[in-house]
Amino acid sequence: MHNLLRELERREAEKEYLQVGLVGCGQMGSGMVNLTHKMPGLRITAIADLEVERGIRAFKEVGYDEADIVVTEKVDEAQRALERGKVVVTPSAHLLPQVGMLAALVEATGSPEVGAQVAWQAILNGKNVVMLNVETDVTVGWILKRLADRAGVVYTVSAGDEPGAVIELYRFAKALGFQVVCIGKGKNNPVDFFATPDTCREEALRKGMNPKMLCAFVDGTKTMVEMAEVSNATGALPDIPGMHGARVDVPDLPRVYIPKRDGGIFERDFVVDYSTGKVAPGVFVIFTTDSPHLRQDLKFYSMGEGPYYILYRPYHLCSFETPLSVAKACFFGEPTINSIHFHSEVVAVAKRDLSPGQFIDGIGGFDVFGKIYTAQEAKSLHAVPIGVVHHAKVLRPVAKGEVLTSQDVALDEDSFVVRLRKLQDMVMESDGAWSS
């Protein structure tokens, strides 16, 4: 972090700003624009959003005049504007990967379809990609990472979201030689799997959120996606489909989120999970050691009686931390977190009875929620990943609470993320990359 700050400060002093493009200027994206305007050495200078007024408003909020904001759908016009020190707003997400002045793109739409397209195009155009869009990564991140490696650029999920925050604790524990038994996060309310945008609307409007976005949090899909990301980065597995999600506060986690043989709730020795106790917005790692000497030292360091101990980070700052991932990628070629393997899958489960001929509305909608399974369990069920289910056509009746299978729906063959996922599956099969 010291070297990162030093490079940012050098660029600030020399006015050599790292120029970054942002795709999706909602609550998190607009916050990032404000934050980077205060940061040394890094600026968001181009925004893609279907609602161009959101991008214009974000730039005006940090002090840009109307004359300094160029709205365009032409690559050459955007390039010239940035060369003249102006900023760019466009309704086209496909424009930013082609703009040479931009060193990196942040994808913040939350849409697997848009995320896959933007990441693919950015990598082919030699740009680093930071995904504030975990939904895309758990669906096709495995192949995007390999494409980026071959192209000599960085593809990474962002710092600040729970996976990026908790991976720091995990790496700290592993680097010290401790045995990690659980990697987890807090969820600030119980899961309501059958929540809909309508049931979330009042709270969403009160919080200034999109009802579909809030619904994806309330119905558990976001938590399942986040912990699948951690699983695919580390090899930890969900103990049961959907994880336990017990109501356990921070002090009790080292006594409960441990293997059953030692009085806990887990059948497995290395798991991902979440708690609905007083943990959120924090993340945690539970670890142990078989060394009596180290246990005595940990007790002296006020880590508890053991034999299990907790590392707890009481916050994650979401998009505020994303620029750190951008800087690490651009300055040092380092990713924050990636789907290295394919250990877990988030599958689509019916929120209501689904009828033949119906088209699925996707994440945060009325039709399905996401539930984490091990990749092998999901594969044996022929389960449909939540990231490719948007606009799938129902072929036969599916009862509320049932996992959607490849026999139940026909995926949208015109969807880029669907085609990319099929390519990923073929490559993984040939490489033997499926987790066993």
Exposure string over 331-340, b if 16+ CB within 10 A, otherwise e: beeebbbbbe
**Domain assignment present for 212:** yes
- 58 or 340: which carries more pLDDT confidence? 58
**Domain assignment present for 270:** yes
Do 35 and 118 fall into the same domain? yes
Do 152 and 168 fall into the same domain? no
What is the per-residue pLDDT for 27? 87
Q: Tokens for 134, please give them.
A: 């975990």
Do 150 and 209 fall into the same domain? no
pLDDT band at 208 (very low <50, low <70, confident <90, very high): confident
Number of domains observed in the structure of the chain: 3
| pLDDT digits 0-9 by tens, 36-87 | 999 999 999 999 999 999 999 999 999 999 999 999 999 999 999 999 999 9
Do 97 and 182 fall into the same domain? no
Do 193 and 311 fall into the same domain? yes
Do 16 and 144 fall into the same domain? yes
**Domain assignment present for 337:** no
**Domain assignment present for 338:** no
Q: Tokens for 69, please give them.
A: 């904001």
**Domain assignment present for 214:** yes
CB 101 within 8 A of CB 317: no
Range list of β-strands (E), 198-343:
237-238, 271-275, 283-288, 308-313
CB 389 within 8 A of CB 138: no
Do 208 and 294 fall into the same domain? yes
Q: What is the mean pLDDT of residues 232-249?
A: 97
pLDDT at residue 2 greater than cutoff 90: no
What is the per-residue pLDDT for 355? 97
- Alpha-carbon distance of 46 to 152, in angstroms, equals 23
| Count of C-beta atoms within a 10 Å radius of residue 14 | 9
| pLDDT digits 0-9 by tens, 148-192 | 999 999 999 999 999 999 999 999 999 999 999 999 999 988 899
- Alpha-carbon distance of 127 to 150, in angstroms, equals 12
Q: Which residue has the tokens 């609470």?
A: 401
Q: What contacts 393, CB < 8 A, 6 or more positions away?
A: 357, 358, 359, 360, 409, 410, 412
If residue 297 lies in a helix (H) or strand (E), which one and from where to where?
Answer: helix 292-300
| pLDDT digits 0-9 by tens, 347-385 | 999 999 999 999 999 999 999 999 999 999 999 999 999
**Domain assignment present for 131:** yes
Q: What contacts 224, CB < 8 A, 6 or more positions away?
A: 242, 243, 346, 370, 371, 372, 386
What is the per-residue pLDDT for 435? 55
- pTM for the structure as a whole: 0.95
| pLDDT digits 0-9 by tens, 380-436 | 999 999 999 999 999 999 999 999 999 999 999 999 999 999 999 999 988 766 654
- Alpha-carbon distance of 386 to 348, in angstroms, equals 5
pLDDT band at 209 (very low <50, low <70, confident <90, very high): confident
**Domain assignment present for 307:** yes
Do 27 and 136 fall into the same domain? yes
Q: What contacts 430, CB < 8 A, 6 or more positions away?
A: none
pLDDT band at 196 (very low <50, low <70, confident <90, very high): very high
**Domain assignment present for 299:** yes
Do 354 and 311 fall into the same domain? no
Domain hosting 152: range is 2-160+319-332
Dihedral of the CA atoms 248, 252, 255, 257 (nearest 10)?
40
52-61 and 27-38 helices, crossing angle to 10°: 30
Do 166 and 112 fall into the same domain? no
Tell me the CATH number at 9.
3.40.50.720
What is the per-residue pLDDT for 434? 60
Do 326 and 359 fall into the same domain? no
Do 171 and 30 fall into the same domain? no
- Alpha-carbon distance of 420 to 119, in angstroms, equals 12
Last residue of a domain, one of 279, 297, 332: 332
Q: What DSSP string describes 195-236? A: --HHHHHHHHHHHT--HHHHHHHHTSHHHHHHHHHHHHHH--
| pLDDT digits 0-9 by tens, 107-157 | 999 999 999 999 999 999 999 999 999 999 999 999 999 999 999 999 999
Tell me the CATH number at 368.
3.90.1210.10
| pLDDT digits 0-9 by tens, 289-333 | 999 999 999 999 999 999 999 999 999 999 999 999 999 999 999
Last residue of a domain, one of 301, 332, 363: 332
